[in-house]
Amino acid sequence: MRGRHVVDISSTYKRVALKDHVNAYSKQESPVRFTGYPSWKRSLPHVIVATLASFLFGYHLGVVNETLESISLDLAFSGSTLAEGLVVSTCLGGAFIGSLFSGWIADGVGRRRALQLCALPMIIGASMSATTKNLWGMLLGRLFVGTGMGLGPAVAALYVSEVSPAYVRGTFGSFTQISSCLGLLGSLFMGLQAKGIVGWWRACFWVSIIPAALLALLMEFSAESPHWLFKSGRTSQAEAEFEKLLGEAHVKYAYAELSKPDGGDDTEAVMLSDLLHGRHFKLIFIGSTLFALQQLSGINAVFYFSSAVFKSFGVPSDRANICIGVANFLGSIVAMILMDKLGRRVLLLGSFSVSMGLQVVGASSFPSSTEAFYLSAGGMLLFVLTFSLGAGPVPSLLLSEIFPGQIRAKAMAFCMSVHWVINFFVGLLFLPLLEQIGAQILYTVFGAFCLISVIFVKRNVVETKGKSLQEIEMALLPVE
């Protein structure tokens, strides 16, 4: 019943063009008229600064990839798979904590201050990791970094969706994914010298302080989200920020859109219980399920498995990881180009559909022939490429669009927490399951989750391309 109701809304969206909706609103409800699209150049610098949080996320996710062997030797835990696993996964625990509280922080101090705050634990944690003499110092540093990793991307997705003009919001939203890919590639390239230069791994952590400091500094000169200011009752400041982001000619129209009644009470405090039942439950369910299916598609398993596949054919792991990173980056670039042309829903359906087929290729991971190697390795690269076209960048952008302003930050925080929990268990259970049930069955399971994702997207996900956040909110959350 829920799925049918959302699909009906989606079909309604398809029948009503954005300009028709705007003109109807201008004639019937407001004397303010649509004056054309604002220049995207005004908001672009603010978006780029915010995506530094995503860059740091990607960098710290990959910084231990090539350096872990050197770290284990220097800190005297070489040979302990448990210790190595803790160094990799401790930041995931910190990320869960950071993402869980990100909504309350973003609503309490604003998007701009929240992004500055996320830089602080990353600077402290990276410094601790770079200077530590033992395993415990490294783990504590990774925990600090993780809290920033959990806080930053969630708030960055919110900020980008709220400061971007509707007609380029998909393109700008893709910048967060591209920035993550650049951070990951940057960490891999930095780590190339780790095995040849003693102590180079410490430099890899020190370098990450530069973008973190830039994020904290440059956000001081960036615009605050007008949506957050309006919700906080600071209406004059919201108008001033609209002028900074859109230009003077578009302030009145943008403010009129923001002032549309939505049937909710923005003055009410939102509790965690409010997200789990009542009129918001459907949207929270869609968002949480999308993030869960994103992780259960097997993308992290491919990242974990790729080095072993390439290494079994004599290809160094560093080259393998860079190939995977480049495929991820290229897919994200294409997604940025297509996001506001094809739409979010089309990219999600196409990405999950092709990924499902490529899981069959992934099942042939350890053959011995050269032909099988090209099939298996090529399948992995194509899987990463197709995943980054839709299933990777779309969920965080889509969720920041479909959640009402009253609950947007806290709902994003809750759904991102689900993402980190599923991510943790996929990483924890992948290798044991691979040994117990084998690659064919395991990759078939991943393919089945991709099929479930296609069905779920078809039944529950609306198209948000080109629509203002207020239009989406009024359609998805009608007055009770």
Give the pLDDT confidence of 148-178 residue by residue, as tens digits: 999 998 899 889 988 988 888 888 888 888 9
Which CATH superfamily groups domain 270-479? MFS general substrate transporter like domains (1.20.1250.20)
Residue 17's pLDDT is: 40
- Note the pTM of the prediction, 2 decimals: 0.78
What does the alpha-carbon distance between residue 321 and residue 185 come to, in Å, rounded to a whole number? 9
Tokens, residue 348: 């999600």
Cβ partners under 8 Å of residue 408, min gap 6: 158, 227, 400
Cα–Cα distance measured from residue 27 to residue 43, given in angstroms and rounded to the nearest whole number:
28
Which stretches of 131-228 are assigned E, i.e. beta strand? none
Please provide the distance, in angstroms rounded to a whole number, between the alpha carbons at the two ends of the chain: 17
The pLDDT tens digits for 59-104 are 998 888 778 888 988 998 887 777 887 887 788 889 989 988 888 8
pLDDT tier for residue 342 given thresholds of 50, 70 and 90: confident
Of the chain, the percentage scoring pLDDT greater than 90 comes to 22
Query: What pLDDT, in 10s, does the model give residues 405-443?
Result: 778 888 888 888 888 888 878 777 776 777 788 767 877
The pLDDT assigned to 22 comes to 38
Residue 140: its pLDDT value, please?
Answer: 95
In whole angstroms, what is the distance from residue 453 CA to residue 292 CA?
A: 10
Q: What residues does each domain of the chain span?
A: 39-223, 226-261, 270-479
pLDDT, tens digit (0-9, with 9 covering 90-100), for 440-453: 787 788 888 888 99
Check for a shared fold between 39-223 and 270-479.
Answer: yes
pLDDT at 359: 64
Q: Which long-range contacts (CB under 8 A, 24 or more apart) does 260-263 make?
A: 260/25, 260/29, 260/470, 260/474, 262/404, 262/405, 262/470, 262/473, 262/474, 262/477, 263/474, 263/477, 263/478, 263/479, 263/480
Q: Which residue has the higher pLDDT, 324 or 51?
A: 51
- Please give the pLDDT value at position 105: 92
CATH topology of domain 39-223: Growth Hormone; Chain: A; (1.20.1250)
Closest CA to 97 of 50, 157, 54, 145: 145
